[in-house]
Structure 1
Amino acid sequence: MTTAPSAAFTPMRLGPLTLKNRFIKAATFEGRMPRGEVTDGLIDFHIEVAEGGAAMTTVAYCAISPGGRVHRDTMVLDTRRATALRRLTDAVHTRGALVCAQIGHAGLVANTRSNRMRTLAPSTRFSAPAMGLVRAATIEQLDEVVSDFGVAARNAVDAGFDAIEVHLGHGYLLSSFLSPNLNKRRDRFGGDTARRAELARRVVERVRAEAGDTVAVTAKFNMDDGVRGGFWLTDSLPTARLLETDGHLDALELTGGSSLLNPMYYFRGDVPMAEFIASQPASVGLGLRVIGNRMFRTYPFEEAFFLPQARQFREALTMPLILLGGVNTMTTVTNALDEGFEFVAMARALLRDPALVNKFQAGTAHEGLCVHCTKCMATIYDGTRCVLRPESIGR
């Protein structure tokens, strides 16, 4: 038995929401929020996705505090930005789609020189993005992090978001606490799998409490850090079971890799090193010339590259799951639904063609146009885009 292609375009519940189909635009840093401000470009980015047929688009990445930014052009989801974001959520709703806010704290991934603020880590260690040593967070600082997540969730609701995605992946703060490689603490936030999950569980509980029962709460969750000694299935599966048992999440979006230590693990494809070097200040570009090939490992692109790990979670859990990673064809979508995944999340495929979902539904396309060159990665500093789209060529 195979799921009829039309099943991808049937409504599906996500907590209190009903999504019109099974397609979610995954969080992709838009590069359209200078100094963290809401711009027409940011709104237009998500209008295009909504008009293209996705059931829900995700605004990325909304920091819970100034110190939790990735860099100075990261938005902080405070009360002022919440008011400004109303234009975005209203615009997406007018186009018949829902909209999610991804919230998080960058932790070791934060560029402290750009932010001009210190960041946090589970244990003291050097961080290349922070360009220096990051000190272990105190208990008081972690209490403040939990509180800040709650405030950001409340602001997301006030801004009109339909869903909130808690960032538990890619080496960001909560993800780093889950990792045995990064978390060497000896208090209640470190040690075995359950103790390393304590901070993430407290945050998710607070977000759910502040979000209420009309907004969906999901998490972007690392299955595998792609790092020796990092968070892997032997830790991530039990952690996911704990999160499911807690009952505060409506779905998990399954991912992997580390922005801190192995970013190409969650991109897959060619490494756009020349473009990276060209997009950086001269001193950073020089560093990339010297050590870039060690920082950015090469992983050949494969369709649905996270599916083998994700199957382990589908077997172990009953909660809704969102399949992410190399979803480019209608066959992949159909097969994912056959295997019991409730939704698929797409990123680069929709950068290349935001109308792809509509084309899938009309039967005018069965595969996206993305060639997996990953050159879009180097465009995040002046507006994330596919360099092969007509309006991008020649820029």
Structure 2
Amino acid sequence: MEESILFTSGKIGPLTLRNRTIRAAAFESMAPGNAPSELLYNYHKSVAAGGIGMTTLAYAAVTQSGLSFERQLWLRPEIIPGLRRITDAIHKEGAAASIQMGHCGNMSHKSICGCTPISASSGFNIYSPTIVRGMKQSEIAAIAKAYGEAVRLAKEAGMDAVEIHAGHGYLISQFLSPYTNHRKDEYGGSLENRMRFMKMCMDEVMKAAGSDTAVLVKINMRDGFNGGMEIEESLDVARTLQNECGAHALILSGGFVSKAPMYVMRGAMPLKTLTYYMPTGWLPLGVKIGGHFMIPSVPFKEAYFLEDALKFRKALNLPLVYVGGLISRKKIDEVLDYGFEFVSMARALINDPAFVNHMKEDKHARCDCGHSNYCIGRMYSIEMACHKHVQNLPEKLIKEIEQLENK
């Protein structure tokens, strides 16, 4: 094995990171009132102190209509001082700060986003459940402009980088995927047309980013089900982002929250945990009855996206960030040896915010995440946390965690 580049500096556009690690933009659920909280501040400060190259605040909506959770950031002028406090703390620890931004499209409900959810095409979202309205052309241009405005706000908040979410079945992904885009105008049909909205958003993003802000884009390599985007089309999307849109780096992911959620994260959804933290009503009852069908398990293995990601590494020459199932120094070094410039992690850093420092001290370091996905089950209702950091767990949740971790 070649000498590891893990603890060497690396560049993303105008930005240099102290090492090759990035805290992935996993939703923290730490923004009650859609604004940063003390919990969000403490968590990202701890990850920065734990040695990360760059930590990413997750999933900030570019407009109110883009919110899918009550405890999710919404980028607007009122929250900039709170975000600035977080970026200052991250910088003080020697790390860079990034914020993921996007629009959830059909993955919402009027009670959260303040309107009938919008998407590339009209339809019905069984997960909310709610009617969804296809966007008018005038709205498409307005949302693209909102991405640019969100980048300007992120810069004001002291962010070194922005991450544009173009995957996982959120709005840009809903335009890209033939599964959700049934439009008959110039935004639907051919891949060229389905990419039009993404290119409009990226045009606004790159103008706002200027010469001093790094721009990363998270994309799907596959949607993860029949009838969705597959590798060949996704490679064309990646080439467009590289050659036409000017993205500084791509984050290679996969999965569709409304259709194949565990394809993104792997393992099983802990349904007892999910329903335990939900507010009372018919939804937890529905999940108890049909959850195994709605959220099917997908087996976890280390570096589960690597085989697909290597096809993108071969086809592209811009910096690529590998994400998906990294829990050991050995596998991280292996991924970097394949030519990926950066690695991105989420669950490993929920389990151990100082995991990067531990890898620096020990070449055999491995975090002890057992992939029960308790953190994800809990995330939809209250703040994300590893069960190992939670006291007084109910016995039924302890049993579920043990059962899933000992499979």
Q: 2:269 aligns with which of 254, 268, 271?
A: 271
Alignment partner, residue 306 of structure 1: 305
1:178-210 Cα deviation digits (max 9, x unpaired) = 001110111111111111111111111210100
Q: Residues of 1 paired with 2:386 and 2:38: CA distance?
A: 19
Give structure 1 regions of 4+ aligned residues with deviation exceeding 3 angstroms. 391-395
Alignment partner, residue 397 of structure 2: none
> For the Cα contact (< 8 Å) 2:28–2:40, is it kept in 1?
yes
Written as runs of structure 1 = structure 2, the 5 A alignment for 1:1-395 is 2-5=1-4, 7-280=5-278, 281-363=280-362, 365-380=364-379, 381-389=381-389, 391-392=390-391, 394=393
Equivalent residue of 2:377, what SS?
helix
5+ residue gaps in structure 1? none
> For the Cα contact (< 8 Å) 2:162–2:214, is it kept in 1?
yes
Q: Residues of 2 paired with 1:325 and 1:393: CA distance?
A: 30
Query: Alpha carbon RMSD of aligned pairs, Å?
Result: 1.3
Bigger drift between 48-57 and 116-125 goes to: 116-125
Q: What's the CA shift for 1:119?
A: 2.1
Amino acid at match of 2:336: L
Equivalent residue of 2:386, what SS?
coil
Percent same amino acid at aligned positions? 36
Equivalent residue of 2:6, what SS?
helix
Amino acid at match of 1:143: A
> For the Cα contact (< 8 Å) 2:15–2:213, is it kept in 1?
yes
In structure 2, the CA distance between the partners of 1:129 and 1:270, relative to structure 1 (3 Å rule), is: closer
1:335-394 Cα deviation digits (max 9, x unpaired) = 1111110000001011001111001001175211111111111221221010123x5454
1:12-35 Cα deviation digits (max 9, x unpaired) = 111101100000000111111111
Amino acid at match of 1:180: P
TM-score normalised by the chain length of structure 2: 0.94
Q: Residues of 2 paired with 1:3 and 1:152: CA distance?
A: 41
Q: What's the CA shift for 1:247?
A: 4.3
Q: Residues of 2 paired with 1:29 and 1:87: CA distance?
A: 19
Equivalent residue of 1:253, what SS?
strand
Bigger drift between 108-117 and 291-300 goes to: 108-117
Q: What's the CA shift for 1:173?
A: 0.3
Q: Residues of 2 paired with 1:342 and 1:26: CA distance?
A: 15
TM-score normalised by the chain length of structure 1: 0.97
> For the Cα contact (< 8 Å) 2:178–2:229, is it kept in 1?
yes
1:255-284 Cα deviation digits (max 9, x unpaired) = 111111111111111220111111223311
Q: Residues of 2 paired with 1:177 and 1:349: CA distance?
A: 32
Equivalent residue of 2:325, what SS?
coil
Q: Residues of 1 paired with 2:170 and 2:245: CA distance?
A: 23
Q: What's the CA shift for 1:118?
A: 2.2
> For the Cα contact (< 8 Å) 1:64–1:149, is it kept in 2?
yes
Q: Residues of 1 paired with 2:194 and 2:369: CA distance?
A: 37
Equivalent residue of 2:239, what SS?
helix
Q: Residues of 2 paired with 1:368 and 1:112: CA distance?
A: 39
Aligned residue pairs, count: 392
> For the Cα contact (< 8 Å) 1:356–1:365, is it kept in 2?
no
5+ residue gaps in structure 2? 395-407
Q: What's the CA shift for 1:170?
A: 0.8
> For the Cα contact (< 8 Å) 2:169–2:258, is it kept in 1?
yes
